[in-house]
């Protein structure tokens, strides 16, 4: 699809976006201006001005709903079961970014129970052992860098 662009952290079709904005702004601004005019004509300036704002906001919502019906989301929702990487690979990636996730046996009782309930205990423990075994090598490496 040639018209897909990223706006405000998600994907939209630029033609659909232009159309949606035209619809919503058109409805909302018209609703506000007409309401404001009618309230002013009826002699209610102060309060009428705020009621006109209410009509304008209702117009925004109506415009957004119409846009939503006309143009469907440009997202593909996948479930991570399609992720074929092993748990250890994922943990390794996280460790690289965040630092060692630590020995789950050092955690307080209640937290240990939580980690076990999540089924993460063995994976974290295995990863920790792996890191401890590696430690000698990596310590020397940092020494050389300094």
Partner 1 sequence: MSADLLEPILWAIGMAVLAAVLFTGIGLISGTDETATVAPIALLVILLGVPPAGVIAFFLAAVIAKHISHAVPTTLLGIPGDTTAVPMLREAQLLRALGVPHLALQKAISGGVIAVIIAIPLSILFALVLTPFAESIESAAPWIFVAAAVLVAYTSKGKLAAVVALTAFVLLISGLQAFILDQKDATFTTSFFLGIATGPLIFDLFAGLSPAGRKAMRQEGKREFALAPDVPRSGGRIPNPFTVLDRTQLTYTTGSAVITSATFVFSPVAMAVLMGEIAGSRIKNGFHRLTTVATVRNATTESTYIAETLIPLIAIGLPLSPVAAGPAAPLFNAPPVYTLDAEAGTTNNLHDLLTTGQFALFAVIAAVIAIVIAYPFVMTNAHRAATWVMRSVSHEAIIAGFAALICVICLYEGGLLALGVTITVGLVGGLFNRMIGMHAGVQFMGYYVAVLTVPAILAL
- In this structure, what is the dihedral angle of CA atoms 9, 14, 16, 21, given to the nearest 10 degrees? 80
Pairing assessment for the beta strands 10-13 and 4-7 based on DSSP bridges: antiparallel
Coil/strand/helix, residue 107: coil
- Least separation in angstroms between CB 22 and partner 1: 8
48's tokens? 């009428």
Tell me whether residue 40 or residue 61 sits nearer to partner 1 (CB atom): 61
Of 1 and 133, which CB lies nearer to partner 1 in the complex structure? 1
Of 30, 15, 125, 112, the C-alpha closest to 70 is 15
In whole angstroms, the minimum distance from the beta carbon of 6 to partner 1 comes to: 5
23/38 with CB nearer partner 1: 23
Minimum gap (Å) between residue 18 Cβ and partner 1: 9
Backbone angles phi, psi at 91, to 5 degrees: -60, -40
Instruction: Name the minimum Å distance from CB 55 to partner 1.
Output: 9
Contact status, residue 18 vs residue 45, Cβ threshold 8 Å: no
Cβ nearer to partner 1, comparing 9 with 142? 9
């Amino acid at each position: 699809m040639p018209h897909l662009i990223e706006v405000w952290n998600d994907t939209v079709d630029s033609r659909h976006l232009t159309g949606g904005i035209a619809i919503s702004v058109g409805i909302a601004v018209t609703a506000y201006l007409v309401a404001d005019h009618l309230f002013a004509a009826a002699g209610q300036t102060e309060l009428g001005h705020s009621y006109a704002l209410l009509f304008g906001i209702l117009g925004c919502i109506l415009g957004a709903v119409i846009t939503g019906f006309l143009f469907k989301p440009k997202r593909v929702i996948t479930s991570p079961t399609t992720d074929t990487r092993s748990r250890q690979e994922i943990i390794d990636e996280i460790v690289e970014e965040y630092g060692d996730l630590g020995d789950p046996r050092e955690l307080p009782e209640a937290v240990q129970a939580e980690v076990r309930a999540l089924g993460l205990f063995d994976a974290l423990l295995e990863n920790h052992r792996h890191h401890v075994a590696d430690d000698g090598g990596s310590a020397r490496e940092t020494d050389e860098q300094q």
